[in-house]
A and B are shown apart, each in its own frame.
Chain A
Amino acid sequence: MEQTKKAGWARTRGRLRAWMSKPANIILLFFLIALTVLTLYPLLSLLSEMFIIHPGKEVRAARQDAGAFTTYHFTRLFATSANSYSSIQFYQPFLNTLAVSLTASVIAILFGGTVAFLITRTDIRYKKFVSAVFVFPYIMPSWTLALFWETFFKNVNIGLKTSNGIMASVFKVFMPEWFVYGYFPIALVLGLHYAPFAYILMGGILRNMDANLEEAATILKTSRARILWRITLPIVKPAMLSTFLLVFASSMSAYSVPVFLGSPVRYYVLSTKMKSLMDSYPGQAYIIVAVMILFGVAILLMNQKVTNSRKQFTTVTGKSGQISQIKLGRLNRPVALFLVVLLVLVAVVPLITFALESVIVKAGDYTPANMTLDFWIGTGLDKRLDQGDSTGILLNPKVWNALGYSLLLALTCALVAGTSGILVGYGVAKRRGSRLSSLVNSLSFFPYLMPSLAFGAIYLAMASHISWLSGFLLLGLVGSVKYLPFASRSGVNAMLQLSGEIEEAAVITGVPWWKRMLRVIFPIQKSSFLSGYLLPMVSCMRELSLFVLLVPSSNTILTTMLMQYSEKGWAQFGNAINLLIIVVVLLVNFTVNKLTGASIDKGVGG
């Protein structure tokens, strides 16, 4: 009896030791614990808010005490017919959100995917330009792209009907209202803004896929279209679904774009309703957050089904060779030119507009007499313009401090999120199919599904119980967790492509784990991994709503400063800072490119 017990114990211990000897297991265990604390706790505290009466208006409206348990928020939001309340606050915005998010996802996938395909798999011209410029819309804060859209296309026949943008005043083209405000431009701006997701995620796969599969088909005289449909598309399907998930969730929680482009025509979405409800009826606002999360979870589950199914392809093996590029022939130049013109319109023209808006004094007057570099390098401005700071942004220590802080924050988040992403990817891929693996995989994606504003609010509440968690540490933690999904997505995708045999060779010769990671795995999928560092970095540089509640001062980071300036109507300073952000990110990208040979766009090709 005693003996069997002992033997049983020894067996368990042995099994445990064997289990622990695999780095993948330890990684998964570590992230399971860390992510539970960092994502599940915020989620639960968010959910509990839906059942609590908050101090203030809710007390009077629900006639209950503050802190009491309640289902009032649900009946109020979902089943109040008086004044069409539920329809106005929830159902109509809900439908609008679905329409906008779906369209934005489709636009992002089609546009980003097509460009990724053209760059990686064809001999299209101007690759360098296209791949470099394509990521611009993502680098800009999305609301500045919305602002650009409005200032460029507005005219006296639509919206506020007060002034003409560049299109109407210079080119005499008056766009119709549906083109400038409401559903279409919101979906388009979001789609364009997030198209680089598709480009990066799908491009990484396309570039690294094993050409043998396509070559085999070519030998068997399969048509180009059929190869694309039956081989290429299935291989990029996981990345496509990842993109869909990312863009859908982002678009759903996007706030500023629908506010800027929807408000003038009274087009409301869930996020705008959430924001205004948060001010007076937080219980209902949190229900909206929960609805958004539920949607995200549904897509996540769908996504997971694909990643876990047998239809998963190992595309990078130990043997892969050259990939063949499709020759576009006669079509090359027209397609390339079309692409270049399109990209100039959505990526370069906004930059020119920002530059222009940062040098004019009176809005809408683009004559040289109305131009000045004061907002960049002027001094004594408060006396002359009675507006904004006393010096131009480049002479303002406040701006430089904020820039330094933003950069440090972005680098920190990128390092933490990027490294975690690779590790999660390794663990998940190695133990694919196990419950632990899919749990960690889902958990690592969870932060993405939470709207930034709510995420920031919950971390603020969490940090209030932990005295050392404040300032930079808090911002860094929030940013790392919130952007982990980018890194973990690209990490998982990249690792799933790797055939086991690559690492096995090193295992047999007794190479330690960390060396295998550094010397074998990392170099092969370098581009995907680096995009796992760069995406959090870029996102962090232009993030606003996540940090807005957590920054010690609105002058702490560039984006809060930028928003403050835009709100005060110091458009010139705002536009100058916006350009500064974009230029800095491009510089970082360029430096990374020079040092490592990889960059956001190089992650794909070009």
Chain B
Amino acid sequence: MKKWFALMLCCCLLLSALSAFADVAGDIAAGEAMSHDELVEKAKAETGTFIVYGNTSRIETAAAAFSELYGIDFLSTNVKDQEIYTKLRNESGAEAADMVMIQDGAQLTDAIAEGLVMNFLPASVKGEVAEADQNPLVHQFINKLFIYNNLGDDAPAIKNVWELTDPAFKGRVIFKNPESEKVNMNFLVMLTSDKWSEKLAEAYKNWKGEDIDLGEYQNAGYKWIAEFLANCTFGKSDTTIAEEVSQETAAGKIGLFVLSKLRSSSVLTDNLTVAQYDATANGYAVEPFSGFMYPMYTMVNVKATRPYTAMLFIEYLMTQEGFEPWGKSIGAYSPIASIKVNEGDLTIDVWKDTLVVEDSAYILDAGVDVEDFILACLQ
């Protein structure tokens, strides 16, 4: 009797979960065909507090402005990548998030396959965003760049990333531990791909004037990773790294960190030079890359209880106004061409040419061996 009851209960739960899933999928399909006004009408008909999760802190500013514009109550929370998924898996009903903003495309691919989140492409941006950035929808690109302290005679104005593997750079390169933030790991994994290892091999030749001797390494990417990480020390956050590299006592140091951290008033910006800015201004290139770039995505929770508000918010985030919390400072790039970059910053096209851009497909393909190799380099 009890067993039957339990079984029935399980079935009910499963069915209700499935039906919720189907509901949101249907809503999204309907929403993608809706005009802005129709979305607003549908969203206003939804009740309760609109909930957003994001691993960018500025989502709160955006949500507050959105809430004011449409008179919708909201709750935003800043949660890190993996924790967002843990919450999504376990929360349901009115307490569950309606939409999320998240980085690390490889993990997101898994989360979509698992059925945790779904993509929504607002009709308003369909023609504005490149096809490759539509599903999952990229809200912005973020770049981490080689930025160095420009004080003293020994400022590391690098022109080739192989310089950073030189024993003279031991302890002078500051990075965030790739184990603690996956986008950093993704960047290193990308370097083992054919495209980047070939570029690195070429850059090596240009630097040393001779062909690269791989020794035990599979390709130039592995060699660079090993020798680069051996010279690195790890800071605990990009903000700390930015602050530390900018100190007057930090002459000769170079960091690889988020460009947008230069907005922080605690960073002594005058003491810092962005390698790529200098290269562009003086007409040279940092071979073969001057940092890396990764997308931040917007997604609808399949268990959203306010799916139309979620869609309206995503639509809002893709407008000039919705992008403002990020767009007002350097280091964030909308995939929409009409949303211009900040004055003094370079355009997304320049960055796409000069940075290692995250490619989820390759990262998922590379498997555990590459990551194991990188972990071993961290010891």
Contacts and interface: CB of A to CB of B under 8 A. Distances in A.
Interface in B341-379: 364, 367-369, 372-373, 375-376, 378-379
Nearest to A275: B180
A89 B374 CA distance: 12
Interface centre among A278, A362, A363, A464 (most CB of B within 10 A): A363
A548 B84 CA distance: 11
Contact of A552 (B75, B86, B242, B265): B75
B235 A264 contact: yes
B366 to A, nearest CB: 10
A553 B77 contact: yes
A223 interface: no
B261 A569 contact: yes
Interface string B71-111: 00001111101110011011111010000000000010011
A387 B375 contact: no
A221 B372 CA distance: 67
25 contacts: A55-B113, A56-B110, A57-B368, A82-B369, A83-B373, A85-B375, A160-B174, A160-B235, A161-B171, A161-B233, A161-B250, A259-B236, A263-B235, A363-B267, A387-B263, A460-B91, A463-B90, A464-B89, A464-B90, A467-B93, A549-B83, A553-B76, A555-B77, A567-B237, A572-B266
Contacts of A259: 180, 236
Contacts of B263: 386-387
A555 B245 CA distance: 30
A64 to B, nearest CB: 14
Nearest to B329: A386
B244 A263 contact: no
Nearest to A387: B265
B243 interface: yes
Interface string B239-250: 111111101011
A385 B237 CA distance: 20
B274 to A, nearest CB: 18
A565 to B, nearest CB: 9
Contacts of B329: 386
Interface residues of A, number: 57
Contacts of B75: 552-553
Contacts of A164: 249
Contact of B375 (A88, A156, A457, A463): A88
A163 interface: yes
Nearest to B250: A162
Interface in A240-267: 259-260, 263-264, 266
Contact of A162 (B234, B236, B253, B266): B253
A564 interface: yes
Given A159-B233, A161-B171, A82 B240 contact: no
A55 B110 contact: yes
B249 A263 contact: no
B264 interface: yes
A569 B89 CA distance: 29
Given A85-B372, A457-B86, A163 B247 contact: yes
Nearest to B374: A83
Contact of B372 (A83, A461, A568, A572): A83
A156 B249 contact: yes
Given A89-B375, A162-B247, A569 B264 contact: yes
Contacts of A84: 376, 379
Nearest to B237: A567
A10 interface: no
B57 interface: yes
Contacts of A260: 236
A112 B250 CA distance: 39
A333 interface: no
Contact of A464 (B82, B91, B244): B91
A318 interface: no
B166 interface: no
Contact of A266 (B81, B111, B171, B234): B234
Given A60-B367, A83-B372, A83-B373, A161 B243 contact: no
Contacts of B239: 567-569
A216 B30 CA distance: 88
Contacts of A457: 86
Contacts of A156: 249-250
Given A160-B241, A162-B245, A470-B93, 19 more contacts: A61-B367, A61-B368, A83-B376, A88-B378, A161-B253, A162-B253, A264-B233, A278-B82, A280-B182, A361-B266, A386-B263, A386-B264, A457-B86, A464-B91, A464-B92, A549-B87, A553-B76, A554-B78, A568-B57
A56 B265 contact: no
B78 A266 contact: no
A457 B87 CA distance: 9
A453 to B, nearest CB: 10
A572 B265 CA distance: 11
Nearest to A553: B77
Given A387-B266, A551-B77, A552-B77, A460 B110 contact: no
A554 B59 CA distance: 12
Contacts of A2: none
Contacts of A569: 237-240, 242-243, 261, 264, 266
B238 to A, nearest CB: 8
B305 to A, nearest CB: 13
B90 A461 contact: yes
Given A162-B253, A276-B180, A461-B90, A362 B265 contact: yes
Interface in A269-302: 276, 278-280
B182 A279 contact: yes
Interface string A179-193: 000000000000000
A160 B368 CA distance: 29
Contact of B249 (A162, A361, A471): A162
B155 interface: no
Contacts of A82: 369, 372
7 closest cross-chain pairs (CB), A and B: A569-B239, A162-B250, A162-B244, A279-B82, A56-B110, A163-B247, A553-B77
A263 B177 contact: yes
Interface in A464-484: 464, 467, 470-471
Interface in B115-173: 171-172
A276 B86 contact: no
A60 B367 CA distance: 7
Contacts of A276: 179-180
Contacts of B20: none
A185 B90 CA distance: 37
Contacts of A460: 86-87, 90-91
B268 interface: yes
Contacts of B373: 83
A505 to B, nearest CB: 49
Contacts of A568: 57, 239
A149 to B, nearest CB: 13
A480 B201 CA distance: 58
Contact of B244 (A66, A163, A280, A571): A163
Given A88-B379, A264-B235, A554 B243 contact: no
A56 B233 contact: no
A386 B329 CA distance: 9
A59 to B, nearest CB: 8
B146 to A, nearest CB: 16
B37 interface: no
A163 B248 CA distance: 8
Contacts of B233: 159-161, 264
Contact of B247 (A85, A263, A364): A364
Contacts of B245: 162
A572 B243 CA distance: 13
Interface string B253-275: 10000000101111110000000
Contacts of A385: 265
A94 to B, nearest CB: 14
B354 to A, nearest CB: 26
Contact of B234 (A264, A363, A553, A554): A264
